[in-house]
Amino acid sequence: MKTVYTCFCTDVIHDGHLNIIEEAHKRGKVIVGALSDRTLIRYNKFPTISQAERIRLYESLDGVDKVVVQDDMMYDDVIEALHPDYVVHGDNWKEGPESAIRAHVEELLSAYGGEVIDVPYTYNEKVRKIDLQLREKLAMPEYRRRRLRQLIDMTPIVKVMEAHSGLTGLIVEKTVVEHEGRLDQFDAMWVSSLCDSTAKGKPDIELVDMTSRFRTIDDIMEVTTKPIIFDGDTGGLAEHFVYTVRSLERMGVSAVIIEDKTGLKKNSLFGTEVSQTQASIPEFSAKIAAAKKAQLTDDFMIIARIESLILERGMEDALERATAFTAAGADGIMIHSRKKDPTEILTFCDRFRETDKTTPLVVVPSSFNSVTEEELAAHGVNIVIYANQLTRSAFPAMQKTAEDILRYHRAKEVDDRLMPIKQIITLIDEL
């Protein structure tokens, strides 16, 4: 009896999967691999049911002899363990980032005479309906809101990218890359005060009002499903912040980060070049406590951001604040620095973790950008935010185009660096 292996990462079984099982069953004993949660979120959409539920679902299918967990995107381990004669997959993996995985499977199988079977991908009205139902479970506020907490439990480090519009939201939502045979994507979006303000041509001084910031969130939410972390600046007055928290929760935002500054806030990356006032520990703790009391759901997170290193008040002050803000109810701590060297950030994380093993830690490596996600995770960081890189890459490109059109009195010279017209008019999918 031959052995046939197929890897599933779906939450719902439709005709396409049944067809794959049928094709597999014709050839021998069918083993289904259930892609583990931590691998699935790098590869596909966020799962709407748990890993254990997916395993039970696959086990219940006629024609499936056994279910195993596939924990790595690459098939090396499962192929070594099972030695399947065939690996069956929908033929959609012949194109795009997944094609590297297919090529690697083919190479592994050819070493002992195994074979890849590509089954034509099924797309019909039923499959389309199921896709829509899954999208509802991903996009609606009650599901989206809780997903950040789920991600913190699921993955060594949650990867967050800045978004400040529907379009940048779509980039964070849809960008998947293949690198050395593995696929990767961002987990969540950061609605940065710097980038949201900059996109409106305004300075980052809490000038863009909450109604406008909420409008940005709404634009992003309209076209995406990934969870959102909102940059709440100082949070304003505690009496106002409680209302902001309620609004964010209702919209389906997962977390707000507020920084321990008071008065006219300027962007932290100015450091001590501009005068900025740090809030006292009791004052900021009271703001956090008031917001935690106002919160309606258990899902939403209020994360306290500590500016002591930015303002050069020292490590001990930063650590004292972290303990106090956690005691006041903060669901996470963000520690910030504008040093190029990550040492002070890593020292803070190590020292914080000596006494607190669980409170999520957040960092924003804009200045200390040589540090890797793996290093951060090894020092106990749970969330890494790439806070402004989309804005900082788009602006120079747009400015250069504007300058060159002025320079040459026509657009021909810039054309080879533009997205083709055919692509821009079809960039956004219609429903």
Q: How far is CA 367 from CA 23, 269, 271, 363, in A?
A: 53, 8, 12, 11
Binding-site partner at residue 103 among ligand SPV, Mg ion, none, CB < 5 to 8 Å by type: none
Closest CA to 364 of 388, 343, 347: 388
Rank residues 47 and 365 by Cβ distance to ligand SPV and give the closer one.
Answer: 365
Binding-site partner at residue 262 among Mg ion, ligand SPV, none, CB < 5 to 8 Å by type: none
Q: Tokens 């909102």 label which residue?
A: 230
Binding-site partner at residue 268 among Mg ion, ligand SPV, none, CB < 5 to 8 Å by type: ligand SPV
Burial 253-286 (b: 16+ CB within 10 A, else e): bbbbbbbbbbeebbbbbebeeeebebbebeebbe
What is the DSSP track for 77-110? HHHHHH--SEEEEEGGGGSGGGHHHHHHHHHHHH
Rank residues 67 and 291 by Cβ distance to ligand SPV and give the closer one.
Answer: 291
Rank residues 249 and 259 by Cβ distance to ligand SPV and give the closer one.
Answer: 259
Q: Is 204 a catalytic residue?
A: yes
Q: For strand 277-278 and strand 361-363, is the pairing parallel, antiparallel, or unpaired?
A: unpaired
Q: Kindly state the smallest distance separating residue 380's Cβ from ligand SPV, in Å.
A: 20
Q: Reduced to 3 states, what is the DSSP secondary structure of residue 357?
A: coil
Binding-site partner at residue 337 among ligand SPV, Mg ion, none, CB < 5 to 8 Å by type: none
Binding-site partner at residue 244 among ligand SPV, Mg ion, none, CB < 5 to 8 Å by type: none
Q: Kindly state the smallest distance separating residue 193's Cβ from Mg ion, in Å.
A: 3
Which residue of this chain has its Cβ atom nearest to ligand SPV in the complex?
192
Rank residues 54 and 261 by Cβ distance to Mg ion and give the closer one.
Answer: 261
Rank residues 12 and 269 by Cβ distance to ligand SPV and give the closer one.
Answer: 269
Q: Site residues (CB under 5 A) for Mg ion?
A: 193, 231
- CA–CA dist 368, 385 (Å, integer): 12
Q: Kindly state the smallest distance separating residue 305's Cβ from ligand SPV, in Å.
A: 8
Q: Site residues (CB under 6 A) for ligand SPV?
A: 192-194, 204, 231, 267-269, 364, 366, 387-388
Q: Kindly state the smallest distance separating residue 380's Cβ from Mg ion, in Å.
A: 23
Task: Tell me 69's DSSP state.
Answer: E
Q: Kindly state the smallest distance separating residue 193's Cβ from ligand SPV, in Å.
A: 4
- CA–CA dist 274, 268 (Å, integer): 9
Residue 211: CA count within 13 A, CB half-sphere: 0
Q: Tokens 């500590």 label which residue?
A: 306
The active-site residue out of 11, 85, 196, 204 is: 204
Q: Which residues are identified as catalytic? A: 204
